[in-house]
């Protein structure tokens, strides 16, 4: 018994839509049928076996080897099981996923976790722009779930997100948490300008003091936020990967806003690493 493994034979010239290769859709298929499945490749549809070597039989656990950024929509709409990607992936990682776990050991493109409503995305590398954000025309970005980025993130992390948690362990770009309706973004390294711009509600937690806070955020001073204690305790209970959160204390400089939008959101700049 081994995980269902797709090994890319060679780097594709065009983008390859990987959305059919999720545990939900493969559960009842034989290995032969999986090999014959069609994938949208550029303007054409090609069979899985023409691009991948397929092995394994545990269809709830999928591994994609030798991946590259041409592979898009990995884990799209999945609601069960796990996908592990070794290598980079393109845009729309975990788009609209409902449950399960996607882990990328590499970098991911833009729009990771857009529209997701549950589950967890781990990227052990960097991500592009609009992580957890809403697509143009969508009312909201992600509405639940957890996105954990070990590396850096591009601009507009969590734009218009409605619920859920995004953790950026590396640096974040500009407009982090812009226009968020609710939810929590935790940026553990430097962030770009205009964090929380246009936010209505929600929380942007910054472990490092940003170089710039918009004038439309009002300082509430340094406060001991019991919410932070709860959040960090809950996160460190999820698994060992988040144990480091137990070193963060509850004292934060709170900025409320965005007042330009009559917002009731907050930017919390952590003041101490020592638990009190």
Partner 1 sequence: MKINGVEIVDTFAEAFPMKATRIIITAMNLKWAYQAANAIRGFASSVIACGIEADIERELKPSETPDGRPGISVMIFAMSIKELEKHIPTRVGQSVMTTATTACFSGLDSEKKVSMGKSLRFFGDGFQISKTMNGKRFWRIPVMHGEFICEDTTGVTKAIGGGNFLVLAKTARQGLTACEKAVNEIQKISGVITAFPGGVVGSGSKVGSKYPFLTASTNEAYCPTLKGQVKSELGDEVGSVLEIVIDGLDEELINQAMRVGIRAACSFGSAKGICSISAGNYGGNLGPHLFHLRKLLK
Interface residue list for partner 1 (CB under 8 A): 144, 163-165, 182, 184, 201, 203, 223-227, 229-235, 237-238, 246, 264
Calculate the alpha carbon distances from 175 to 2, 133, 151, 192, 273 in Å: 43, 12, 17, 7, 25
Rounded least distance, CB 227 to partner 1, Å: 5
For residue 5, the minimal CB distance to partner 1 (Å) is 30
**Residue 243 CB, nearest approach to partner 1 (Å):** 13
User: CB-wise, 57 or 237, nearer to partner 1?
Assistant: 237
Beta carbon of residue 231, minimum distance to partner 1 (angstroms, whole number): 6
Q: In whole angstroms, what is the distance from residue 204 CA to residue 206 CA?
A: 6
Give whichever of 31 and 230 is closer to partner 1, judged by the CB atom.
Answer: 230
From the CB of 185, what's the least distance to partner 1, in Å? 12
Q: How far is the CB of 112 from partner 1 (least distance, A)?
A: 20
Q: How far is the CB of 235 from partner 1 (least distance, A)?
A: 7
Nearer to partner 1, 201 or 218 (CB): 201
User: In sequence order, what DSSP letters do the residues of the chain get, joined into one string?
Assistant: --EEEEEESS--SS-EE-TT-SHHHHTT--HHHHHH-EEEETTEEEEHHHHEEEE-SEEEEEEEEEE-TTEESTTTT--SSEEEEEE---S-TTTT--SSEEEEES---SSTTTT-EEEEEEESS---S-TTPPPTT-S-S--EEEEEESS---SSTTTT--S-EEEESS-B-TTTTTT--S-EEEE-S-B-SSTTTT--S-EEEESS--S---TT-EEEEEEE-HHHHHHHHHHHHH-GGGGGGGG--SEEEEEEE-GGGT--EEEEEE--SS--
Q: Cβ of residue 32: shortest distance to partner 1, in angstroms?
A: 38
Closer of 4 and 251 to partner 1 (Cβ): 251
């Amino acid at each position: 018994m081994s995980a269902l493994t797709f090994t890319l034979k060679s780097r594709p010239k065009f983008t390859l839509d990987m959305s059919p290769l999720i545990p939900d859709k493969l559960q009842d298929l034989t290995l032969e049928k999986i090999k014959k499945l069609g994938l949208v490749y550029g303007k054409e549809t090609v069979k899985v076996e023409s691009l991948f070597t397929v092995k394994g039989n545990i269809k709830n656990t999928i591994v994609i080897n030798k991946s590259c950024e041409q592979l898009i929509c990995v884990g799209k709409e999945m609601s069960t099981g796990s996908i592990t990607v070794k290598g980079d992936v393109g845009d729309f990682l975990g788009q609209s996923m409902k449950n399960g776990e996607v882990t990328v050991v590499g970098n991911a493109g833009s729009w990771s976790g857009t529209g997701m409503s549950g589950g967890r995305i781990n990227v052990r590398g960097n991500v592009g722009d609009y992580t957890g954000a809403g697509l143009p025309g969508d009312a909201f970005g992600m509405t639940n779930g957890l996105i954990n980025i070990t590396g850096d993130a591009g601009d507009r992390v969590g734009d218009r997100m409605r619920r859920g948690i995004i953790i950026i362990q590396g640096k974040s770009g500009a407009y982090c948490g812009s226009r968020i309706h609710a939810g929590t973004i935790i940026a553990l390294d430097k962030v770009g300008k205009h964090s929380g711009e246009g936010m209505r509600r929600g929380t942007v937690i910054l472990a490092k003091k940003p170089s710039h806070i918009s004038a439309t955020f009002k300082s509430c001073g340094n406060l001991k936020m019991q919410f932070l204690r709860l959040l960090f305790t809950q996160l460190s209970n999820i698994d060992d990967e988040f144990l480091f959160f137990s070193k963060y204390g509850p004292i934060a400089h709170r900025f409320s806003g965005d007042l330009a939008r009559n917002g009731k959101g907050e930017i919390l700049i952590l003041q101490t690493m020592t638990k009190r």
